[in-house]
Amino acid sequence: MRVAIVSEFYPRAHDPVLGIWAHRQALAARDAGADVRVLVLHRPVPPRSTRLRDAPRALRTLASQPRHVALDGLDVRYVPFFAPPRSRTYGSWGAWAAPTLAGALRRLHAEFPYDLVHAHNAVPAADAVLRARRSTPLVVSVHGGDVYYTAPRYPAGARAVRRALGSARLVLANSAGIEDEARRLGALHTRVVRLGTDVPDHPPHKAPAPTLVTVAHLVARKRHADVVRALWLLRDRHPQLRYLIVGDGPEREPLARLAAELGVADRVELAGQLPREEALERARAAHLFVMPSIDEAFGVAYVEAMAAGLPAVGARGEAGPQEIAAAGDGLRLVPPADVEALAAELDALLAEPAYLQELGARARATVVRAFTWELCGRATLEAYEDALR
């Protein structure tokens, strides 16, 4: 079976962790038996959050992205397109990407006659595929952005999401909650395909001081600030407690200011975006993964932590954390935006080191049973086969 994957979110030279989950799912599908090629929608314009003095370098880096590379043995081609700023026009980016994508799909098919196209997200990827007028069967993955961001915020985006989901042979959702939302937005045929993670062979070496960790883009919905405030509430009961934040984004400076205002700046490390292996190594040395985020469709970061024996804490009522918690032990849920409840949960876990270690072992077992890349690859291949029937 030959599959062409189309995605906006995918690793690039300047950002090797962007959309790493899409790349890992592509590799998992390949390892399960699919023959895969990837087309990446590449907009060589720096995001609005880029500081003015950094803009020229960012623009040069984006413009110099190689058009054709091999990533882990996978053929990946970058398809450039231009579009107005995301904040105003993201819902219509599929229309801007369609002309160059149409040419890329045509050239790819001439040398690699693919059987189906798998688009990650309805907007812009699936919308661009439909506008390119290819008759190949279409599978669309919904990861959260379509239902939490694009459809509610942009009228053109809502129309594009509904058209793409309604036109797909099959819609893949990364959790049952997202599957329900996809059906509400017009998906006719759906199934849940969970993303996965690698499972380390050996338990990691732990940091000497008790450490909380979050690995995520620094945006408000990830609720890093709640963890900083919880750290302040626990300052007397756990005077050695530290908080490691791995990632970068527009909330970096506000988080640094908040930590300084609360007097816990010496306990908070803003490590920035690290190479993937270094980020995993540092995170696994912590004692507890904490990310009480909202609008969380799945959350690969939770299962990555759990695979290394780190218990995790997420927000109750979110599609992804609810599904992960339902699969087995290892992820504790607290009310969203409730700093006192978060602090109480952290306090209870940190106060019982033996139980925390036991919960970590259960977390790892949950991942082995339900959230490996091997399982994801088999489920993805089965979904492709169903779409072609």
Q: What is the pLDDT of residue 61?
A: 66
Of 334, 323, 333, nearest in space to 371 by CA: 323
3-state SS, residue 73: coil
What is the pLDDT at residue 204? 82
Scanning 112-217, the segments in alpha helix (DSSP H) are 127-131, 145, 151-153, 155-167, 176-184
pLDDT of residue 64: 78
| Residue 202 confidence (pLDDT) | 82
- Amino acid in the structure at residue 147: V
* Whether the Cβ atoms of residue 129 and residue 93 lie closer than 8 Å to each other: no
List residues bridging with 139 in a β-sheet. 118, 170
pLDDT at 94: 98
Q: What pLDDT sits at residue 60?
A: 67
Residues of the chain with pLDDT under 70: 46-62
Q: Taking Cα atoms as reference points, which of 66, 172, 196, 70 lies closest to residue 122?
A: 172
Q: How far apart are CA 200 and CA 196, in angstroms?
A: 13
